[in-house]
Structure 1
């Protein structure tokens, strides 16, 4: 009997809820919503590929490790799933590992992703 992986089930459930919003297509398209920020991840990128692209776009060598890792918090200071990675050049890349659900505007829903200081999104 195969055991169910709770993490995989949670991710699958989120992807079902969000549709393809959590899957990078690499096109930067905004087809899910007119004001939805584009996905800047390479096509079919997973977490590592999205993180590496966020590093590249922010002048961080992909081999560089963060100098500091802190818990993720929202704009109100509330703890959120994920981490904030700070690099030598001062850039902070935020991992929003649980994504976002916006009940008042579902076109803005997004699966797991990274954000850079410019507000760019790198889905995985």
Structure 2
């Protein structure tokens, strides 16, 4: 089985577990083939995009993709200026953290805990 087809199959399984958080249609995927870089980087369209909302979901998604040998690209807001968060092979899955926007402020300890989105 070719890598692209294998990745599609795994994404279908993940969609059952993470309903509504896995996107495989071309309209969604093409939005994640570029970031804000002005550097000419040849990019490809990812096979899928996953939108976790918790660290537990991230852990599960990474575990599944890693165990299946599927390359993944972590992505924040797409504001990277170096082309570091874009697919270049065409068999990758983008893990978009844009839905992970929660944060906690601890005034007593002068700290902030923030999700990556």
- Measured against the shorter chain, the TM-score band is 0.3 to 0.5
Question: What's the TM-score, normalizing by structure 2?
Answer: 0.33
Question: What's the TM-score, normalizing by structure 1?
Answer: 0.31
